[in-house]
Amino acid sequence: MHKDLLRLARAERGVRVHLACCLAAAVLAGLLVLVQAELLAGVLSGRFAVAALLPLALVVACRGLLGWAQGVLAGRAATALKSALRRLLLGRVEGLGPAYRSGELVTLAGRGLDALDPYLTGYLPSVAVAGIVPLAVVVRLFVADLATAVIVVLTLPLIPVFGALVGWTTKTVTERQWRALARLGGHFLDVVRGLPTLRAFGRARYQASVIREVAEAHRAATMRTLRVAFLSSLVLELVASLSLALVAVPVGLRLLSGSLDLRTALLVLLLAPEAYLPLRAMGTRFHAAMEGVAAADEAFAVIDPPREAVAEPPQQAVAEPPREAGRTAAPAGATRIARRATPDGGPPEIRLEDVTVRYPGREETALDRVSLVIRPGERVAIAGPSGAGKSTLLHLLLGFVTPSEGRVLADGTDLADLDLDEWRRRLAFVPQRPHLFATSVADNIALGSAAGPDEIRAAAEAAQVAEFAGALPQGYDTPLGERGANLSAGQRQRVALARAFCRPAAQVLLLDEPTARLDGRSEAAVVAATRRLAEGRTAIIVAHRPAMIDLADRVVRLDGGVLVHPVPAPSISTQGGEAR
């Protein structure tokens, strides 16, 4: 039995009371089998009158009532214990390090702890019954028939022995299944949160294949667990059936020879299966409870981690080689519409012609008949109040949004006719809230590029990531927490800029308010890095802060989705440190 769960059950009064009453009801229902067998054997053998059927019916009714009470009490004990575990688990969330993904914690607190129901409502009561009822049955058999009792005593240990042998394998495969499920939950949530970043850097298709591999690993682990569970049930049933045959055959022969009376034979045949049944039930429920036990082990490891254990980040769901990002092949059998490759050369001219964007379910337009020309190598700042359509304009250029009316041209070619993967390879995107993945600093920087270690370090130097990366425990190999939880906002923004530096072939730079919510020192570092990054590229910068606007050759203003007449960068008025 799980020591930590039992310790917690004893500490929680509600759990302790309900669980004790549940086990008492299960044991009492099991012991009533002896009374039921005595009455039934007496009626069938003629020793008791037919009137004995009334107390027999009462015994059966009592067993049914106790079974119902056991189910209700076990359900309440399970609910209370899971609530206590979740409370302790959520109380530890703030103290967890970057090694834990929220997806894994959600899986643990949800599906994982719900898997404790078979352990608390089935396995624990069956353990209590298996510890008392077979012993009581054997004692009664010794009184009724010594030869039968000896056979039962000799064969009874076979069930727990075979159950333990199979149980070790079950525990191993179930723990493997649980780890696969936790990895699937953690990795899937991480990918969904970072999907815009993955699409911008051409990694969405690769991550789809990674999730398929993780899901396949979980499916294979689940099938292995079910295979072992079914085989173990077969083994226990076979052992129990053979043991009962060793009891029934001699009893039948002795009954025919007259050396055994009918009542004793009936009593032995009714009680012998009850000696094996609790052990068989315990073995069957052990397999059903193993997923919950594995989840409980993980929960207690989070709640009360071993003091001497060295905290290591969990193994990634699939070792992801970021260097191969740009070379991911399409899945087998996938069909793809042939589109034009993007024209090569220098920075492109970008033209928006009467572009209107309406999001599904909204009547108002995000952009309304916007026309804009951005010359090759020009740096344009997009200003305007929140909700004016600035981010929508960037999403148009990234191919995340398609115009409801009008068109977007790159060097005279409609974006709708271009291969978006090829087009995005010419872009470097720095979002307002960059998504960092639960992997190393170097892998986060190299996302979507084929950069080597030297190029990664050069990009980090250019983006001023090296200032803090060298102080991390493992340098550039330090695993980052989910969403870069162990970095400040300015540090996360510099990592996002380093990603752009890792794309030397990118000719268009898209920045979405990269200095929002940063302090003065971080803003200065990001602005300096952005100035270097924009050299020789077409740059479209969504900005409010004057420091970023000063980088632009001209400023255009959006208001309510409508483009206001462009103004030169120096003449834009500022109040309170932000563009108006």
Q: What is the per-residue pLDDT across 87-139, written as a single tens digit (0 to 9) for each?
A: 887 776 655 544 455 556 766 777 777 878 888 888 888 888 888 989 998 99
In this prediction, residue 104 carries a pLDDT of 64
Both 295 and 395 in one domain: the answer is no
Return the higher-pLDDT residue of 361 and 494: 494
* CATH number where 508 lies: 3.40.50.300
19-23, 71-75, 292-296: least confident range? 292-296
β-pairing, 508-512 vs 367-374, is: unpaired
Strands of the sheet with 508-512, listed across from one edge: 427-430, 508-512, 538-542, 379-383, 554-559, 562-568
Could you tell me the end-to-end alpha-carbon distance of the chain, in angstroms, rounded to an integer? 67
pLDDT in tens, 203-253: 566 667 766 777 777 777 777 777 776 777 777 778 888 888 888 888 888
Please indicate, yes or no, if residue 462 is contained in any of the structural domains.
yes
Cβ burial of 313 (10 Å; 0-12, 13-18, 19+) is middle
Distance CA 55, CA 77 (A): 32
Distance CA 297, CA 408 (A): 55
- Mean pLDDT for the stretch of residues 516-520: 66
3 state SS of 306: coil
Asked if the model's pLDDT at residue 62 lies above 90, the reply is yes
Percent of the chain past pLDDT 70, that is, above it, reads 75
DSSP state of 259: S
Is the Cβ–Cβ distance between 200 and 424 less than 8 Å? yes
pLDDT in tens, 541-580: 887 777 778 888 888 888 888 887 655 544 444 444 444 3
**In total, how many domains does the chain have?**
2
Is the Cβ–Cβ distance between 22 and 70 less than 8 Å? yes
Asked if the model's pLDDT at residue 272 lies above 50, the reply is yes
**Cβ–Cβ contacts within 10 Å for residue 558, how many?**
24
Both 443 and 569 in one domain: the answer is yes
Is the Cβ–Cβ distance between 389 and 561 less than 8 Å? yes
Asked if the model's pLDDT at residue 65 lies above 90, the reply is yes
Please indicate, yes or no, if residue 326 is contained in any of the structural domains.
no
Please indicate, yes or no, if residue 316 is contained in any of the structural domains.
no
Distance CA 556, CA 565 (A): 7
Of 287, 303, 319, which residue is a domain's last?
A: 303
Is the Cβ–Cβ distance between 110 and 292 less than 8 Å? no
Both 136 and 203 in one domain: the answer is yes
In this prediction, residue 316 carries a pLDDT of 39
In this prediction, residue 203 carries a pLDDT of 59
Half-sphere exposure of 351 (CA within 13 A, CB side): 9
* CATH number where 261 lies: 1.20.1560.10
Asked if the model's pLDDT at residue 339 lies above 70, the reply is no
Return the higher-pLDDT residue of 497 and 380: 380
**Cα 122 → chain centroid:** 26
- Mean pLDDT for the stretch of residues 18-22: 88
3 state SS of 146: helix
**Cα 447 → chain centroid:** 22
pLDDT in tens, 388-431: 888 888 888 888 888 888 888 888 888 888 887 788 888 888 88
Is the Cβ–Cβ distance between 536 and 456 less than 8 Å? no
Please indicate, yes or no, if residue 334 is contained in any of the structural domains.
no
- pLDDT confidence tier of residue 144, bands split at 50, 70 and 90: confident
Asked if the model's pLDDT at residue 333 lies above 70, the reply is no
Most distant CA pair in the chain, distance: 117
Asked if the model's pLDDT at residue 199 lies above 80, the reply is no
Please indicate, yes or no, if residue 321 is contained in any of the structural domains.
no
Give the chain's length: 580
Asked if the model's pLDDT at residue 33 lies above 80, the reply is yes
Query: If we measure between CA atoms, which residue out of 334, 510, 337 comes closest to residue 417?
Result: 337
Compute φ and ψ for 351, nearest 5 degrees: -130, 130
Both 252 and 391 in one domain: the answer is no
Tokens of 394: 């960037």
Distance CA 376, CA 135 (A): 89
Distance CA 33, CA 45 (A): 18
pLDDT in tens, 478-497: 777 666 666 777 778 778 77
- Report which listed range, 312-326, 472-486, 494-508, is most confident: 494-508
Both 356 and 475 in one domain: the answer is yes
Torsion of CA 517, 522, 525, 530, to 10 degrees: -10
Q: Where are the extended beta strands (E) located within 365-421?
A: 367-374, 379-383, 405-410, 413-414
Place of tokens 């989070």: 302
23-27, 108-112, 453-457: least confident range? 108-112
In this prediction, residue 577 carries a pLDDT of 41
3 state SS of 356: strand
Both 364 and 298 in one domain: the answer is no
Query: If we measure between CA atoms, which residue out of 563, 531, 566 comes closest to residue 548?
Result: 531
Asked if the model's pLDDT at residue 332 lies above 60, the reply is no
Both 253 and 367 in one domain: the answer is no
Both 166 and 77 in one domain: the answer is yes
Of 271, 303, 335, which residue is a domain's last?
A: 303
Tokens of 191: 């990918």
User: Amino acid identity, residue 92?
Assistant: R
**Cα 458 → chain centroid:** 35
The DSSP bridge partners found for residue 509 are: 428, 539
Both 400 and 473 in one domain: the answer is yes
**DSSP string computed for 165-222:** HHHHHHHHHHHHHHHHHHHHHHHHHHHHHTHHHHHHTT-HHHHHHHHHHHHHHHHHHH
Q: Which H, E and C letters describe 486-501, residue by residue?
A: CCCHHHHHHHHHHHHH
Both 294 and 365 in one domain: the answer is no
Is the Cβ–Cβ distance between 511 and 541 less than 8 Å? yes
Both 295 and 355 in one domain: the answer is no
In this prediction, residue 61 carries a pLDDT of 93
- Mean pLDDT for the stretch of residues 528-546: 81
Both 286 and 414 in one domain: the answer is no
Of 303, 331, 364, which residue is a domain's last?
A: 303
Distance CA 231, CA 233 (A): 5
Return the higher-pLDDT residue of 179 and 494: 494
3 state SS of 3: helix
Instruction: Write down the mean pLDDT value for the chain.
Output: 75
Compute φ and ψ for 359, nearest 5 degrees: -85, 145
Distance CA 136, CA 279 (A): 14
Instruction: Look up the domain containing 279 and give its range.
Output: 3-303
DSSP state of 430: E
